[in-house]
Amino acid sequence: MAEDILNFNIENLGERSIPSPVLTNKFTHDHKRVLFNTGLETYNAFTTAEGTPLSLEVAGPRDRIFFDHATTKAAIVTCGGLCPGINDVIRAIVMGLTHRYGVKNCIGIRYGFQGLIPKYGHDILPLAPENVLDIHTLGGSFLSSSRGKQDVGEMVNTLKRMNVDILFCIGGDGSMRAAGLITEEILRRKLNISVIGIPKTIDNDLNLIEKTFGFDTAISEAIKAIQSAHVEAKGAPMGIGLVKLMGRQSGHIAAGAALAQNDVNIVLIPEVPFDLEGEKGLLKTLERRMAKRKHCVILVAEGAGQELMQTGSQPVETDASGNPRLLDIGIFLRKKIEEHFKKIGEEINLKYIDPSYMIRSVRANAGDSIYCGALGLYAVHAGMAGKTGMLVGLSRDEYVHIPLKMVTFGKKVEPDGNLWQRVLEQTGQPNMKNDE
C-alpha cells in the first residue's frame, strides 16, 4: 500500500474547549488507539512515515467538546439502497444528541443527497425523540433515500444556508465517497461543519470495517429462502432449488448464508469465476450431483457469472450511482440449466427464488439493532467533539474512527481465504473452472 493511503489521522475542526455534558467517568482520549494490524508476520509492514505502527483512533465520548449544545444544529441523511437497521441508526443519533448532549435542533434530509439540492423541492423533516420513538420497528428509511451524484458545492451551500453544524451521512461506498468530497469542500471554505459517516452496505463490502449493519439481518432472512429452496428441491423428483442473493461485487452474503444453513450444495460468487460448459463446468457438475443425490440447492450472488452473459461489443451500462448494471444471473442460470437437462433427456423440477427486495426492506434483527445503536451514539460523540471527514466502524472488536477516504475500496471474499475454504468444505463443492 502506498504511504498516502495508509493515513489514519482524523481531521478536527478546532480546539475542544467546552466541558462535555455526558454523564460518565470513562471519557475516551484521542491517544487511545488500536493497532491496524496485529499479525506478527505483517506487523512491521504497516507503519507510519515515522516508523511507528499504524493504529486507529478509538471512538467514545471526549471530556471536552467543540460544539455548544445550545446552538448546535444537526442533520441526518440516508443515501443509496435500503438496508435493515437504517431507522435504528437514525433513532440512536436523535436520542444521543437529545438525551446525552441536550441538542434540541435536529433535522432529517429527505430522499438522500437530493434533499440538499433546492431544485428537487424535498421538505426538511424536524427530528425529535417523540417522532423517532418507534421507527426502529419499521424497515426501510424513515427519511427515504435516493441514488445518484449531486453537485458538491450546491450541497455545501445548502448546509451553510441552513446553519447545519453536523451532518450525519448514513450510506455505503458511493455515499462515503460523496461525504468525503463534501468534507473537502467544507474544509476548503474553512467552515465549521462536521461530517460523520455511518457505514451502510448490506453486502458487507466496506474496507477496514469488521461488518456493516444490516448484514446479520440479511443472513437471517436469506436462510428462510434457502430453507424454502431445500424443501422444494427435496419435495419433487430431480428437484433443484436456485436462490439468487444480493452481492454485486462481493459474495459475503452468499458465503455467510451457506455457512449458516447447511442445505446448500453449490455457491457461486463474483470473486470465484466458474465455467458453464465443459467437464468441470457448472452444468456437468450439477448433472453429476443430480445423478447421485437427486436434488440440489444452488446459491448465487447477483454479481456472479457476469462474464458469461456479456458480449464483447456490448457496453456496460451504469446506474445513477455509477455502479455497473448487472445482468440477471438468476434468470440466465435457470434457462441454461433447464436447456441442458432437456438436451440430455432428463426431466427436472427447478424452482427459482429471488428474495432480494424482501431481505433489504425488513426491520433489523436484535443483533443488528444493538450494533446500529452503538454506531449512532458513537457517531454523535465524534460529531460533538468536532471531528470530521470520518466514519464510525467496528474494527478489532473496537469502535473506531476511520477517515472516509480509507473505506472506499471494495472488500471481497478471498478465494484462498478461510471464509471461502469453509464454504467449500461445508458444501463439498468442486472447482468449476476448466482451465485450472
pLDDT tens per residue across span 99-118: 999 999 999 999 999 999 99
Residues 81 and 225 in one domain: no
Q: Are residues 289 and 333 in the same domain?
A: yes
The dihedral over CA atoms of 304, 306, 307, 311, expressed in degrees to the nearest 10, equals 170
Q: Is residue 413 part of a domain?
A: no
Assigned domain for 90 exists: yes
**Which of 384, 392, 393, 376 has the alpha carbon at shortest distance from 94?**
376
Whether 304 and 245 have beta carbons less than 8 Å apart is answered as no
DSSP-assigned letters across all residues of 284-305: HHHHHHHHHHSEEEEEEETTTT
Sequence-ordered list of residues with C-beta below 8 angstroms from that of 207, at least 6 positions apart, any chain: 406, 407, 408, 409, 410, 411
Domain that holds residue 78: 11-212+364-407
Q: How many CB atoms lie within 10 A of CB 120?
A: 14
Cell of residue 168, nine digits? 450525519
Are residue 252 and residue 227 in the same domain, yes or no? Answer: yes
Whether 196 and 186 have beta carbons less than 8 Å apart is answered as: no
129 CB neighbour count, 10 Å cutoff: 13
Domains in the chain, number: 2
Q: What beta strand segments (E) does 83-202 contain?
A: 105-109, 124-126, 166-171, 194-199
The alpha-helical segments, DSSP class H, found in 172-312 are: 173-188, 215-234, 252-260, 282-293, 306-309
pLDDT at 173: 81
Pick the closest to residue 285 from 267, 302, 260 (CA basis). Answer: 267
Could you tell me if residue 5 is inside a domain?
no
Alpha carbons within 13 A on the beta-carbon side of 287: 21
- pLDDT (0 to 100) of residue 318: 63
Per-residue confidence (pLDDT) for residue 408, from 0 to 100: 61
| 3-state class (DSSP) for residue 231 | helix
pLDDT, tens digit, for every residue of 322-348?
667 899 999 999 999 999 999 999 999
Does 30 lie in the same domain as 161? yes
CATH of the domain at 145: 3.40.50.450
Mean pLDDT in consecutive groups of 10 residues from the start of the chain, 436 residues: 64 97 93 78 59 87 97 96 95 98 97 96 96 94 93 98 98 89 97 95 81 92 96 97 93 96 95 95 97 97 93 63 81 97 96 93 95 97 98 91 80 92 95 82
pTM of the model: 0.91
87 and 23 fall within a common domain: yes
Q: Which residue carries 478536527 as its cell?
A: 12
| Same domain assignment for residues 107 and 148 | yes
HSE on the CB side for 112, CA within 13 Å?
22
Q: Are 57 and 97 in the same domain? A: yes
Is residue 68 assigned to a domain? yes
Whether residue 82 sits in one domain with residue 66: yes
Among 325, 435, 429, 14, CA closest to 194: 14
The SS3 call for residue 251 is coil
Pairing of strands 73-78, 105-109: parallel
Q: What gap in Å lies between CA 274 and CA 280, rounded to an integer?
A: 9
- Which residues have CB under 8 Å from 33's CB, separation 6+? 55, 56, 57, 58
Q: Which residue numbers are catalytic?
A: 203
- Residue 15 belongs to a domain: yes
Round to whole Å and give the CA distance between 208 and 1: 14
414 found inside a domain: no
Residues 63 and 199 in one domain: yes
In a domain, 280, yes or no: yes
What sign results for the dihedral spanned by CA atoms 26, 30, 32, 35? positive
Q: Is residue 6 part of a domain?
A: no
Backbone angles phi, psi at 76, to 5 degrees: -125, 135
Phi, psi of 132 (to 5 degrees): -120, 10
Whether residues 196 and 223 share a domain: the answer is: no
φ, ψ of residue 320 to 5 degrees: the values are -65, -25
Q: How far apart are CA 390 and CA 401, in angstroms?
A: 6
Residue 221 belongs to domain with CATH number = 3.40.50.460
Give yes or no for a contact between 195 and 182, defined as CB atoms under 8 angstroms apart. yes
Task: Say yes or no: 229 and 117 in one domain.
Answer: no
Choose one of 361, 387, 422: the last residue of a domain.
361
Same domain for 207 and 160: yes
